[in-house]
Structure 1
Amino acid sequence: ASVQFTMTMGEVIDVGSEAAFGREVDQATGLVVVHFWAEWCEPCKQMDEAVRVLAKDPKHPRVKLLRVEAERDELEGVTEKFEVSMVPHIVFLKQGKVVDTLEGADPKGLFDKVALHSPAEAPEPSPHQDPDLAKRELNARLKRLTTSNPVVLFMKGSPDEPRCGFSKKAVKLLQDAGAEFGHFDILTDQEVRQGLKEYSNWPTYPQLYVNGELLGGYDIMQEMSESGELAAEVKPESIEDRLKRLIESSRVMLFMKGDKEEPRCGFSAKVVKALDEAVGTDAYQTFDILKDQVVRQELKTYSNWPTYPQLYVKGELIGGCDIILDMANSGELKEALA
């Protein structure tokens, strides 16, 4: 018989069974926010990012954040209890009772409802916090956001509801160019809003990233649109080109479940530990295959390797967990990554 468990990832809890869900709700002393999600759902990724932001917000230390995979058999009872018919779907609980709900990808709505049902508390000062570590963590997060899609527009509002004239015009330029693009609403996250200006060395919004590189703001987009260059830049890339770009985006690239800060399986955690010990956490980058089912499936064919994690060095596949751990034990891993 399989054993169900609850796994804590930072301050966001992935619930593995109905019993675990019940325990988490019963033990909560304040607001409980439940995110019902599915692996295939693109909007769920945006809400996942919003939930992670909320988890790090010192103004709401007593808010408990739960993730429930809506289509998981072991959690069918939870999904039915809260009448979840679409994802992403957020349920807000107090003392086990529903006080509010939210459907769809709406980070601002999430933050507003949390503020409504759990008033902010003054954060405790942390004089010993390492500013360099905080900056590295922010830059790592910004890199994940700028590479979350081949084309990403950082804007005010969303494509359906732009909240400034330049963002609205930038969306129309991309739509006219036939682009498939992701977006991030910088109004929902002040850390990203301020940090991306320094990260990109670009002081205004919107900002357009293509294949992880800054293309520019609205004026540049407009000039490129008039010359025909924008459509060429944002045209959908083939899956082979995308996989090659991802593999070569870092000298040492690990495709894994989760990321180096929060591995989502035991094998990935073991490989992260081996890499950290061999070369240090800053010497390699990761890609979370749980957030992109196309990459997850197609990379198996591309690499002719059926499992994860997969480690690439200088664009070449090194292998999976067993090979990496064997190399670490023999001392070969450090030499291969040097």
Structure 2
Amino acid sequence: MAVSVVEEVESAGWLERALQSSSAVVCHFWASWCEPCQQINKVFDELASSHPHVRFFRADADKLADVADKHQVSAVPYIVFFQNGAISDRLEGADVPKMVGKVEELSRWRETTSAAAAREKLAGTESAVVANGGTPKATTTADEAAAQLNKRLEELVKSKPIMLFMKGSAAEPRCGFSRQVVEILEKEEVAFSTFDILSDQEVREGLKKFSNWPTYPQLYLDGELVGGCDIVREMHASGELKGLFEEKGLVQKKEETEEEGGIEARLKKLINSSPTMLFMKGTASEPFCGFSRRVVNVLNELGVKFGYFDIFTDDEVRQGLKEFSNWPTYPQLYHKGELIGGCDIIEEMHKSGELKELLLSS
């Protein structure tokens, strides 16, 4: 099969036609001003050459705003995965290991469906051969499938420094043992990633043999199995787990707020740190999403001095501000401690002159 190349999306119609004619597609929504997008583009080129069963598309989110809006692109880089013309998965941000893993999953799905179709065709051919007195050729891919699964599992356990294979997610564990390990990791104040083994039967069964560990959850550190719930619990109680994380430099140092009141007090302090304060994705000089960039452009056009906070640098602020402001998306613009709104509201107020009057009148 010919080596795949990354194709540029020309229009909404072009993408629709391409999706109708291809069963496995990955589309990277990017922008020329976005530095992380350049990294993804390089990885995309490599993935395209090594996964010929998948078509790789690249769409300029600024030039093709209608296409980006249709696919709910809220930031760049933004990866959308398609199976048989329908969206099967999404990925926001430049998380290369996770993107590679999802591409490999899509490629395996494509190969599996192709192999199934080929087997059906072969079965029909063999039936005809046997009917005519011939002997069908034996075919087997068991060893190849096992090797591919083993490679995938090895990549998964090494995809993050701390990987927890569990039932459910960190936010919603689906068994008591998984919940206990999540709580322990949160108490240890370490960043960790999870894989829901209930979402992938191949991983669920394969990892038991790979690790020689028959139950879940399973905790890995730098690709090495630490153990299950009982072992993690014992290591946490003895302090051994904390020592292990500290040795690897994985313990997060959380900044203590100067005032009492926790996250709410911290958010109030941030909001009031500048008369005009923008909570955005990226920085004022390098926004990470088109909506943040559009608000920055409006403020610069008005000549307004403003402070900003990159919500990608602090997940506590990113999640907490949504509840505090009762506003679910970013960017969010504040003036004198009061929320003005997001991108659409800012642009409407700018067109009407209301924003200039509000920000520059005092």
| TM-score for both structures, normalised by structure 1 | 0.46
Larger radius of gyration: 2
TM-score computed with the length of structure 2 as normaliser: 0.43
